[in-house]
Structure formats: C-alpha cells, structure tokens
C-alpha cells in the first residue's frame, strides 16, 4: 500500500524488509547514510536522487516526488516481491539458511540499471566495497550529469547521474584511470564503445534464457563468471544466478563441503541444484552472513 502527501510517500505493509541491510549488503554502491541510526539513506539510482528511510515495515520516500519516481522506487526495491515467502521457502529447502536469514532478514534484491551494473561489477573484480564505491562516484562526478537536490532544510546539494555509455566511450583511458579504475579502465572503455555504437545490445539480455544471457555478457572483456552473475542477478532479475566471490566460496565450503577446496563451477552447480530459482536470494544471505558474522572463522577457505 502507498500513502502519499506532498512531501513524502509511505510504502507500507512490505513483506520482510531491512533498508539498512539491503543498502549495505554489497549489491549497490551509491548510497550513504543520511542519519545517525542506520534508518535513513540518500543515493542516486536511475538518474534520480532518492532519500529514503524505514519505519517498521514501511519504506518512506521523501520529496520532491512525482508519480514516475514513486513507480521507479517500487520497482527498484522490488516491492512487488513477497520476500517473506521466499525466506520461508529457503528455510524449508535447507535449515542452515536459518542462520543466515535470522542474522539479517529482509535483504531485498534491487532492480538496478543494467548499464550501471555492468560497469560497477567490472570494477568490482579484485576490489573491496569501499573502493568500488569510490571509483563509481568518481566516474559519476567526472562524466555524469549534475542533479540538484533540495534538502529538507531548504538548502541544495549537487549529485551526479551515472555516466551514459556515450559519455564513457568518449573518455580517454587516462581519465578513467583518474577514477581509480585500475586495470579495468580498458574494459570499461571498450564496453562503453560497443554499447554506445549499438554493436552490443545490453538491454536485449533480459529477453534471453539464463545460460544464453550469461554467455552473451561474457563476450564483453572484463566480464567473467562472477561479474556476469552479478549483473544478471542485480539488474536483470535472473534469480537462479549465484555469484561466487571470495566470501561466497568461504561460506559454501564451510557450510557444505567440510571446508574442502572445490572448483567454483562445483559450488555454482551445487547452489542451483539445492536452491533452484531462489539461488540468488540464498547467495545474498549467505554472502552477508559469512562476511559480517563469521569473518575470521572462515577466512582462508577461499
């Protein structure tokens, strides 16, 4: 249910929701805390500056607001998904999921812009979350369009949209390197050129089957198994995708393989066989639990 006034919109009755954990779980990188209690955040998504906060099971979007923004927020946070039911299904599939879900219930899989997700997750290779966020913000400041946002106290602050393929295709490698993209700079440059020219139909990916879509994405330099699965999961809604990074490798070995070393392919196949089309949801809970709760206990199991 959506309740609106001229300054805010309240999305109420959300089935399982944690704004903090959804924002901080490593799937999106342009959000910052806007208050002291982890309940309010401001970020840039799909060309809009959004200020959101949580009260109980309600998401509150603060103004200025129009109907397009309301619809975008509902889609971006996947508010049409009954996440509570999905969490129950995961618990039924495997009681071990109780630990991960109980640690941080309500992690919703965002529906991000595919182009931004492509560049973001190319940057994510061999990188930490703070460094990914820094590079993405530098790219936006250097090549994105300015967005003025009116604050609640009447002041205004400038933000930047994520740069278009056309903007990055016109960039020099040196400029991309200035954004701390490192060895990924040539990959970003080539991807932007292919997409800006129409050679690569990124948005056509959503009409493909999972394996076809994955294979297609991996035609882009810098996109391997993990990066392609991140893009498919966090931008295109392929919920069977199971990105395997260092932390996922660690917790999967810890939970399911007696801490033994196994190929990444085996982990991916095992995850789909166990969780099916909910594998992506399982991945996010397992990743967040392993990284934040187990920490040193599973370090070394990559």
Residues 6+ apart with CB under 8 A from 122: 184, 187, 188, 191, 222, 223, 227
Residue 101 near residue 91, CB atoms below 8 Å: yes
| Distance (Å, whole) CA 18 – CA 12 | 13
SS3 for 272?
helix
Mean pLDDT of 200-212: 96
Q: Any bridge partners for residue 50, and if so which? A: 43
In angstroms, the CA 221 to CA 136 distance is: 18
Range of lowest pLDDT (35-39, 41-45, 75-79, 247-251): 35-39
Helices and strands: H and E segment counts in the chain: 14, 8
User: Which pLDDT belongs to residue 84?
Assistant: 96
DSSP states of 140-189: HHHHS-EEEEE-TTS-EEEEEPPPPHHHHHTS-HHHHHHTT-GGGHHHHH
In whole angstroms, give the CA distance from residue 178 to residue 200: 26
Q: Which has more confidence, 241 or 299?
A: 241
In the prediction, which pLDDT does 63 show?
Answer: 74
CA separation for the pair 113, 109 (Å, rounded): 13
d(CA 11, CA 102): 23
* pLDDT-wise least confident of 78-87, 136-145, 152-161, 274-283: 152-161
Average pLDDT over residues 134-149: 94
Read off the pLDDT band of 294 (50, 70, 90). confident
Residue 160 CA to residue 166 CA, distance in Å, equals 16
Q: Is the pLDDT of residue 152 over 60?
A: no
Instruction: Please check the confidence at residue 4 and state whether its pLDDT lies above 70.
Output: no
Burial of 26 (C-beta count, 10 Å sphere; 0-12/13-18/19+): buried
Cβ-contact 22, 108 below 8 angstroms: yes
| Average pLDDT of the segment spanning 22-38 | 88
The pLDDT of residue 153 is 53
pLDDT value for 276 = 96
pLDDT for 209 equals 97
pLDDT, residue 296, reads 74
Domains of the chain: 2-80 (3.30.310.260), 82-106+239-302 (1.10.1670.10), 114-234 (1.10.340.30)
- Residue 228: closest CA among 132, 140, 126, 114: 114
Both tokens of 139, joined, read: 């790219």
- Strand, helix or coil for residue 55: strand
DSSP letter at 46 equals T
For 54-81, the pLDDT digits (tens) are 998 899 998 778 889 999 999 999 999 9
The string of pLDDT tens digits covering residues 87-140 is 999 999 999 999 999 999 999 999 999 999 999 999 998 889 999 999 999 999
């Amino acid at each position: 249910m959506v309740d609106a006034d001229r300054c805010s919109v309240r999305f109420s009755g959300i089935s399982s929701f944690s704004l903090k954990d959804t924002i901080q779980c490593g799937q999106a990188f342009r959000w910052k805390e806007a208050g002291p209690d982890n309940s309010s955040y401001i970020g840039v998504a799909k060309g809009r500056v959004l200020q959101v906060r949580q009260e109980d099971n309600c998401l509150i979007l603060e103004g200025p607001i129009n109907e397009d923004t309301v619809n975008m927020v509902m889609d971006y946070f996947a508010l049409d998904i009954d996440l509570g039911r999905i969490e129950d299904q995961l618990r039924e599939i495997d009681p071990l999921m109780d630990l991960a879900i109980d640690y941080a219930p309500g992690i919703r899989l965002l529906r991000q812009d595919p182009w931004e997700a492509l560049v973001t997750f190319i940057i994510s290779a061999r990188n930490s979350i703070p460094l990914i966020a820094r590079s993405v913000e530098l790219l936006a400041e250097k090549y994105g369009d300015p967005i003025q946002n009116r604050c609640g106290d009447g002041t205004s602050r400038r933000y930047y949209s994520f740069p278009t393929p056309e903007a990055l295709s016109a960039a020099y490698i040196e400029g991309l390197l200035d954004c701390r993209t490192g060895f990924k700079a040539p990959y970003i440059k080539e991807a932007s050129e292919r997409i800006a020219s129409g050679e690569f139909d990124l948005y056509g990916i959503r009409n493909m089957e999972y394996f076809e879509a994955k294979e297609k994405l991996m035609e882009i330099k810098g996109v391997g198994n993990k990066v392609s699965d991140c893009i498919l999961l966090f931008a295109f809604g392929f919920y069977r995708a199971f990105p395997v990074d260092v932390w996922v490798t660690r917790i999967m070995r810890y939970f399911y393989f007696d801490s033994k070393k196994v190929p990444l392919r085996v982990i991916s196949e095992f995850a789909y066989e166990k969780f099916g089309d909910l594998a992506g949801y399982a991945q996010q809970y397992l990743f967040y639990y392993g990284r934040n709760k187990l920490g040193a206990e599973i370090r070394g199991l990559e």
